[in-house]
Amino acid sequence: MSLTKRDVRDYLIGFALILTMVGIATWRHDYEIILPEIGALTAGMWIYHNPTWVSQPIKIFLAPSGTAVIGFGVNQLPISYPEKVGITLLLILLLLNILRSTLAPSFATGLLPIIINATHWSFILAIFAFTLTLMIGVLLQGHYKGQPAGKPLHYQHMLGFVLAAAIWIGAVWLAGFPQMAGIPPVLVVFFEASQQPSYSGKTALQHIIALSGAATIGVLVHLVVASWLLATAITLPLVFILLQLLHIKLPAAYAFPLLALVLPANMFHTLPIAASLAACFFLGSVFIYRKVMTLTGVASENN
């Protein structure tokens, strides 16, 4: 995909915001300030100008901040990790339905405090600060103008999301890998894909490769480069090149390099495998469901 001067400018500004966030975390020696989904939100709003994401600027602040508070609160409960993930996902769906928002990265900001076991209020303050910054940036860019208002989630999509998440959480729990219950960038893409009227096998494969590749890039670079800031400066362009080669725009992929920086040790080394398996399951489920619905529709018409 060729880039215009405006595209280059937007990429540079977006990457600068992400590096600023990591720089502050480095200065403060506080990994809870590193918010992987800010990378995805920045790419989707400032770089790709995703019409669904930018249509209601106020919800750029309300939805991710609200779900972050939910995840932070649930993480304090004396229950198991998979249970925390399941309860958080349900509460996130409820909040998004109340807000009439389909801002998929809200799932990631809600799950992050559980994944990294966030306990300091610096996490919440960082979410508030960076989502507010993104909202102001979208308002200044003006791409939200003329976009349709938000709509409530379809119950069919909500039910499908909950069912697939429940199957996955149960499977990894029984398999003895509960830490794989929540892979935020994968759930973000799954939620978005489930909202689409069609989802081809080619698109599913591209998304799986992109997510798996971005996770692998994040882990490999951080194994070699210990510095949070330097690792981020290296991985962001590499993810950009990966997406260019695949000819797709996938904001969630930019979350993986940052996620690799903050994951606990028991999740870090298995992230590429976990991301690959989760992507295959969730995105494969969407493709199969769409395929079955199409075939069923054709069969009904023939009858």
Closest CA to 166 of 188, 182, 186: 182
Q: What is the pLDDT of residues 10-57, one digit of tens each?
A: 889 889 999 999 999 999 888 889 999 888 999 988 888 888 888 888
Residue 231: predicted pLDDT: 96
Q: Place 116 in a pLDDT band, splitting at 50, 70 and 90.
A: confident
Give the pLDDT mean for 74-90: 92
Q: How does the average pLDDT of the chain come out, rounded?
A: 89
Range of the domain at 164: 5-302
The whole-model pTM stands at 0.90
Is the pLDDT at 275 greater than 50? The verdict is yes
Residue 91 structure tokens:
């509460």
Residue 215 structure tokens:
């996770």
Q: What is the pLDDT of residues 227-245, one digit of tens each?
A: 999 999 999 999 999 999 9
Residue 100: predicted pLDDT: 86
What is the rounded distance in angstroms from the CA atom of residue 25 to the CA atom of residue 34?
A: 6
Rounded to an integer, what is the distance from CA 23 to the centroid of its chain? 21
| Number of domains within the chain | 1
Give the pLDDT mean for 132-137: 91
DSSP reduced 3-state for 15:
helix
Is the pLDDT at 302 greater than 50? The verdict is no
Q: Place 295 in a pLDDT band, splitting at 50, 70 and 90.
A: confident
Residue 132 structure tokens:
């507010």
Helix H or strand E segment including 101:
none
Residue 300: predicted pLDDT: 45
